């Protein structure tokens, strides 16, 4: 427990040393919000205006639609394509921008953690972001595909088991109800466990990829070895999640109380953005410090000191 307390304490020092990252993270959040209204909002408004014009003439269009329902799909195929394309573009833009900022943030935190003479500069942030972008995108994609694949496989297996149980027990007996409930509960528990395991593995693999500077597959292998040799890393991550949720609960309680006054809404939004940005950077700082200490990074590379 002393080790966890020390990592959290040094993590706060690391985050405070690079508080400029909070401003960058807040700017990224604002850009994502603006892009939502520009990339997705404007096409949706245009589609609604188009639909509103057609609804005004719905009485004239109704006979032809009743004769040929496929005409409805044909008429609005362009609108559907516009909205779907806009959503995909928005998702791609925000994903790349967020991952780009994440690579720069973790890279700067790592450099600051292993070098006490390091001073934050925008040039170093952009350099780290550029170097880590493609590898992070590949890593996150692989982890998500792995989790989705395991979930689909388990759902198929659960469906087959449920089918066998239903075939064996034709009547609604207590035995069937027990096995059905057990199967449903197992699926729920496994889904939660799979989500937590995927989240832990994904987050630590991101830390290792940026910290060690290795490739995607090498980072995945190193992450597996690290978690296998350091199972207490799961406890550390669980503590961080509990602390993160608790801090947000307290903050949102205060935010709801203040939001009663409409005049304070813009101020509350700004404070919330800054608070979330600092909290995220603090969590990454905790994880980086923890990994550096547990993996003896300072012995393998350079002296570790904060």
**Strand, coil or helix: what is 18?**
coil
CA neighbor of 75 nearest in space, from 58, 92, 95, 100: 58
Question: What is the secondary structure of 61-104 as a DSSP string?
Answer: HHHHHHH-THHHHHHHHHHHHHHHHHHHHHHHHHHHHHHHHHHH
* Phi and psi angles of residue 256, each rounded to the nearest 5 degrees, phi first: -65, -40
From first to last of its 306 residues, what are the pLDDT tens digits of the chain? 778 888 899 999 999 999 999 999 989 988 998 999 888 888 878 777 766 655 555 555 555 555 655 655 566 677 778 888 889 999 999 999 999 999 999 999 999 988 888 888 899 999 999 999 999 999 999 888 887 887 787 777 767 766 666 666 555 566 666 666 776 677 777 778 878 888 889 899 999 999 888 888 999 999 999 998 888 888 899 999 999 889 888 888 877 777 667 667 777 778 888 888 899 999 999 999 999 988 876 545 544 444
- What is the per-residue pLDDT for 109? 93
- Rounded-to-integer distance, Cα 97 and Cα 36, Å: 13
Please tell me the predicted confidence (pLDDT) of residue 126.
93
> How far apart are alpha carbons 15 and 275 in whole angstroms?
13
pLDDT of residue 2: 76
Task: State the Rg of the chain over Cα.
Answer: 25
Tokens found for residue 135: 């590898």
Cα–Cα distance measured from residue 62 to residue 132, given in angstroms and rounded to the nearest whole number: 55
Q: What single-letter DSSP state applies at residue 40? A: I
């Amino acid at each position: 427990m002393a080790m966890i307390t020390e990592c959290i304490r040094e993590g706060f020092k690391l985050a405070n040393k690079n508080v400029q990252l909070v401003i960058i993270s807040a700017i990224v959040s604002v850009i994502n919000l603006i892009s939502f209204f520009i990339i997705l909002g404007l096409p949706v408004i245009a589609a609604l205006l188009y639909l509103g014009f057609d609804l005004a003439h719905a009485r004239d269009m109704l006979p032809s639609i009743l004769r040929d329902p496929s005409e409805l799909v044909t008429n609005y195929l362009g609108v559907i394509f516009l909205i779907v394309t806009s959503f995909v573009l928005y998702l791609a833009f925000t994903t790349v921008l967020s991952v780009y900022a994440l690579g720069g943030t973790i890279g700067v935190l790592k450099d600051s953690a292993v070098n006490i003479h390091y001073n934050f500069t925008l040039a170093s942030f952009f350099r780290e972001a550029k170097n880590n972008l493609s590898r992070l995108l590949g890593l996150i994609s692989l982890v998500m595909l792995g989790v989705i694949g395991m979930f689909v496989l388990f759902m198929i297996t659960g469906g087959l088991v449920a089918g066998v149980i239903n075939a064996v027990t034709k009547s609604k007996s207590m035995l069937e109800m027990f096995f059905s409930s057990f199967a449903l509960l197992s699926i729920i528990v496994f889904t939660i466990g799979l989500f937590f395991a995927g989240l832990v593995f994904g987050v630590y693999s991101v830390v290792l990829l940026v910290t060690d500077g290795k490739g995607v597959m090498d980072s995945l292998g190193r992450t597996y070895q690290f978690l296998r040799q350091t199972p207490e890393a799961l406890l550390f991550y669980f503590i961080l999640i509990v602390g993160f949720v608790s801090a947000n609960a307290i903050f949102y309680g205060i935010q709801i109380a203040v939001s009663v006054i409409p005049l304070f809404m813009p101020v509350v939004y700004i404070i919330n953005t800054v608070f979330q940005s600092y909290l995220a950077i603090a969590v990454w700082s905790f994880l980086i410090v923890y990994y550096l200490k547990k993996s003896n990074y300072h012995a393998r590379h350079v002296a570790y000191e904060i």
